[in-house]
């Protein structure tokens, strides 16, 4: 059974679809590439932006159940990455607004009905919210694509359905969180209670705005906490929209508060607030260090961090090269390469390196880059000008360091933040493109000789978020899954994000886990209660 799974899982559409995996089926049953991957002119795909089939309805802060302006009256523009043009002006929250939101969340926790509601009632509200997400799927997906630049098909068919699935998953946990009665070495009754931690501060990134919203909000609410959530300044719109659906589902006022704004002001205020009991952050490792320091210098609040990565994608010499190329292509280029766990170091065995490189180049040249609202487009624009310029800087660095630029290497089109799918060969471990997180459509292909070498080189990084392995050998798979110092190992698949699978990293890729049962522990306190017993019938 295990051997059959390793050999065939990448070919199985049902295996990923049944778990609502954050991945597309890569092949037909006959092993040929899916028809969506047709040859397409990059320049022809990038035209005048298509008018989005959605309107911006919510651009204010959500505090205590009401949409309000920032206390300062300030707004900031959120931009369309297809053109750099303004989508909407959004309320710019700062420390005063965070204070208002925390006060609302504290009151809702200390005095409101949410933590006092039966767990079953909390579960029903989460389920109603999931129902509303499904009802408004297309509108939410269009808003996400407009603000973020990810392909509409990806948002509508995968990410928004997963948002609903995650909420149903946590709804199922709400009434299954329980404590223990433990025996003591004497006449005492000992209870271990699992209690909600209080007010949770949460800071989410821009690459998967609503999935990160779900990863944080779902477990916090299931455990009975209240929340102050700060959105990424690049993508504030979708979280505000779905938060309105939470109110419609019956979430009491003050339980979920959403602040849009910038990291040094609103984000820092959340991280350092003395009345925030728990902090969760997803973003870069450098910012994660700042968040952790702010939390420690304030009230020493516990912190969950999901940070950067430089994940190895290991192609063994027994691999079917056509399938390996497609999987490695997906592992890197999915979501415009803007994934913390992207397979950004493609290690290929020397016996198959040349063949792999030739076919990887051909696949990259066929990648459809264009307006993400257009059907069949695989790659939209990068999130903004800052990220666009950063990626081009890394490409320049790769050339200067002596890597071979196989294809791509520059912008696509003349408008918006589009970058050509880029591949480097002859990449060495010491090069910047092999060490640092690029967060863009740049594939670095490295050659290795044997298993021990690739294990050592894969682990020689400050990161430890994820890894991919492509092999038909069960023993090789078993060896690698245990040797790689990462939080997730995908074997013959990649980016499978089931609601029940924990996600997080080793080393500087973070601390703690999100999703699955482990995520609930982030939002619970443990209390021991000891009561003496007088002449107990039993101990």
How many helices (H) does the chain have, and how many strands (E)?
18, 20
Beta strand pairing call for 199-203 and 226-230: parallel
As a whole number of angstroms, the distance between CA 295 and CA 301 comes to: 6
HSE on the CB side for 523, CA within 13 Å?
A: 31
Residues 6+ apart with CB under 8 A from 34: 24, 25, 26, 27, 28
Among this protein's residues, is 340 annotated catalytic?
Answer: yes
From 16, 339, 340, 341, active-site residue: 340
Structure tokens that stand for 279 in this block = 């902090």
From 144, 159, 253, 306, active-site residue: 306
With CA atoms as reference, report the closest residue to 60 among 72, 75, 47.
75
Among this protein's residues, is 358 annotated catalytic?
Answer: no
Question: Three-state SS across 250-294?
Answer: CCCCCCEEEECECHHHHHHHHHHCCCCCEEEEECCHHHHHHHHHH
As a whole number of angstroms, the distance between CA 102 and CA 99 comes to: 5
Q: What's the order of all strands across the beta sheet hosting 524-532? A: 180-182, 188-196, 524-532
What does the buried/exposed string (b/e) look like for 221-247 if buried means 16 or more CB atoms within 10 Å of the residue's CB?
bbbbbbbbbbbbbbbbbbbbbbbbbbb
Strand partners, 313: 346, 468
As a whole number of angstroms, the distance between CA 236 and CA 107 comes to: 25
As a whole number of angstroms, the distance between CA 308 and CA 312 comes to: 13
32 DSSP 8-state letter: P
As a whole number of angstroms, the distance between CA 330 and CA 33 comes to: 12
**Residue 535, burial from CB neighbour count under 10 angstroms (0-12, 13-18, 19+):** exposed
Could you give the C-alpha distances from 242 to 39, 258, 466, in angstroms and in order? 37, 11, 29
Residues annotated as catalytic are 306, 340
């Amino acid at each position: 059974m295990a051997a059959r799974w390793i050999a065939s899982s990448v070919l199985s559409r049902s295996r990923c679809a049944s778990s609502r995996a954050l991945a597309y089926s890569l092949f037909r049953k006959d092993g040929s590439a899916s028809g969506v991957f047709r040859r397409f002119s990059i320049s022809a795909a990038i035209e005048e932006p298509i008018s989005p089939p959605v309107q911006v309805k919510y651009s204010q802060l959500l505090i205590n159940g009401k949409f309000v302006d920032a206390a300062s009256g300030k707004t900031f523009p959120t931009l369309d990455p297809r053109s750099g043009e303004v989508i909407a002006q959004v309320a710019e929250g700062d420390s005063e607004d965070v204070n208002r939101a925390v006060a609302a969340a504290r009151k809702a926790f200390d005095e409101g009905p949410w933590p006092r509601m039966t767990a079953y009632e909390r579960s029903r509200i989460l389920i109603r919210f999931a129902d509303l997400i499904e009802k408004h799927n297309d509108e939410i997906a269009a808003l996400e694509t407009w603000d973020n630049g990810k392909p509409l098909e990806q948002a509508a068919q995968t990410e928004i359905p997963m948002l609903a699935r995650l909420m149903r998953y946590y709804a199922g946990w709400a009434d299954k969180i329980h404590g223990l009665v433990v025996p003591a070495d004497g006449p005492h009754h000992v209870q271990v209670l699992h209690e909600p931690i209080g007010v949770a501060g949460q800071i989410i990134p821009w690459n998967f705005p609503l999935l990160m919203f779900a990863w944080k909000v779902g477990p916090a609410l299931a455990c009975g906490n209240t929340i102050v959530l700060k959105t990424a300044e690049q993508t504030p719109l979708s979280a505000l929209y779905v938060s309105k659906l939470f109110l419609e589902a019956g979430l009491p006022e003050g339980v979920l508060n959403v602040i849009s704004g910038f990291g040094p002001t609103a984000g820092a205020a959340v991280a350092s607030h003395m009345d925030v009991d728990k902090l969760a952050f997803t973003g870069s490792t450098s910012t994660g260090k700042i968040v952790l320091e702010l939390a420690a210098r304030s009230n020493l609040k516990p912190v969950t961090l999901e940070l950067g990565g430089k994940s190895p994608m290991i192609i063994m010499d027994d691999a079917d090269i056509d399938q390996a190329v497609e999987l490695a292509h997906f592992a890197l280029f999915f979501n415009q390469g803007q994934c913390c766990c992207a397979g950004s170091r493609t290690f290929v065995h020397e016996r198959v390196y040349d063949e792999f490189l030739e076919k990887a180049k051909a696949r990259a040249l066929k990648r459809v880059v264009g307006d993400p609202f257009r059907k069949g487009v695989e790659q939209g624009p990068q999130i903004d000008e800052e990220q666009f310029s950063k990626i081009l800087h890394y490409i320049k660095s790769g050339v200067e360091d002596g890597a071979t630029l196989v294809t791509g290497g520059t912008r696509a089109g003349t408008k918006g933040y589009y970058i050509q799918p880029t591949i480097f060969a002859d990449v060495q471990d010491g090069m910047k493109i092999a060490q640092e997180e690029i967060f863009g459509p740049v594939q670095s292909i490295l050659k290795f000789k044997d298993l021990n070498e690739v294990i050592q080189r894969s682990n020689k990084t400050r990161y430890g978020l994820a890894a991919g392995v492509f092999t038909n050998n069960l023993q090789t798979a078993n060896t690698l899954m245990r040797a790689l110092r990462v939080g997730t190992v995908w074997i013959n698949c990649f980016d499978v994000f089931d609601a029940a699978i924990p996600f997080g990293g080793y080393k500087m890729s973070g601390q703690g886990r999100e999703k699955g049962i482990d995520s609930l522990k982030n939002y619970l306190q443990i209390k021991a209660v000891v009561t003496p017993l007088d002449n107990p019938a039993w101990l």
